[in-house]
Amino acid sequence: GAVVSQHPSRVICKSGTSVKIECRSLDFQATTMFWYRQFPKQSLMLMATSNEGSKATYEQGVEKDKFLINHASLTLSTLTVTSAHPEDSSFYICSAPPGTGRRTQYFGPGTRLTVL
Amino acid sequence: GENVEQHPSTLSVQEGDSAVIKCTYSDSASNYFPWYKQELGKGPQLIIDIRSNVGEKKDQRIAVTLNKTAKHFSLHITETQPEDSAVYFCAASITGNTPLVFGKGTRLSVIA
């Protein structure tokens, strides 16, 4: 199946700092990528949709100035958590639908963010 | 918007028995229903999916059924093995290329 990678897999940072998470589609191009957040023992919740060449769209309640998304190319989307606080500690997971011909969705391995 | 309910939240079965997880959805526009398996600390892994033009799909020990009229779909795992132990999520979306709405998950424990 299609492969989606994320980097880093784990990050620990101090409160107030910014953290960048990368999501890459390795063997296909993705004009759209989705960013989800998963708190411990909870389900995945969509945060935003990343669109190559245009602005991301954010779900209600997600601060666009805090969670900056840049879809730099057809294989790379980045999520930057700015001025991170302990309540931002979570598991961040991206997904990418391969597009035409393969209408399904593959997830990256996730990034565990811990804000001290 | 779409709302997906999933039951049970936890399920324990003896090795070799079958496991069934059920989900309901609210948006009749949804046409794509995948199931994911998530192990601790890892991203969700797609195990099977079904689209609204099909009522049932099977892949070895795993099967999914869909009743679009009643808006519910189910995952069936037969001959369960300890390595099937994980959290399983159902999801729904309009197409495979649109955002997924997830159920709350089912923690399956297969007891050897």
Q: Which residues of A touch B104 (CB under 8 A)?
A: 42-43
Contacting residues for A61 by C-beta, under 8 A, at least 6 apart: none
Question: Is pLDDT at A102 greater than 80 in this prediction?
Answer: no
**A15 to chain B nearest CA, in Å?**
23
Question: Is pLDDT at A99 greater than 90 in this prediction?
Answer: no
Which of B52, B97, B102 has the most A C-beta neighbours within 10 Å, making it the best mutation to test the interface with A?
Answer: B97
Question: Is pLDDT at A2 greater than 90 in this prediction?
Answer: no
Question: Is pLDDT at B96 greater than 90 in this prediction?
Answer: no
Please answer yes or no on whether B105 and A1 come within 8 Å at the CB atom: no
The label of the residue with tokens 């909870």 reads: A42
Q: Which ranges of A1-116 does DSSP label H, i.e. alpha helix?
A: none
- State chain B's maximal CA–CA distance in angstroms: 41
In the predicted model, what is the mean pLDDT of chain B? 95
Q: Which of A91-95, A111-115, B91-95, B100-104 has the lowest mean pLDDT?
A: B91-95
Mean pLDDT of all residues in B5-14 = 98
Distance CA B72, CA B78 (A): 20
Predicted pLDDT of residue A85: 96
Question: Is pLDDT at B66 greater than 90 in this prediction?
Answer: yes
Does the CB of A103 have a partner CB in chain B at under 8 Å?
Answer: yes
What DSSP line would sit under B40-72, residue for residue? TTS--EEEEEEETT-SEEEETTEEEEEETTTTE
| Local confidence band at B57 (pLDDT 50, 70, 90 cut-offs) | very high
pLDDT tens, A32-85? 999 999 999 999 999 999 998 889 999 999 999 999 999 989 899 999 999 999
Mean pLDDT of all residues in B39-55 = 91
Q: Which residues of A touch B36 (CB under 8 A)?
A: 107
Mean pLDDT of all residues in B24-53 = 93
Closest chain B residue by Cα to residue A44:
B102
| Local confidence band at A29 (pLDDT 50, 70, 90 cut-offs) | confident
Predicted pLDDT of residue A30: 86
Closest chain B residue by Cα to residue A34:
B99
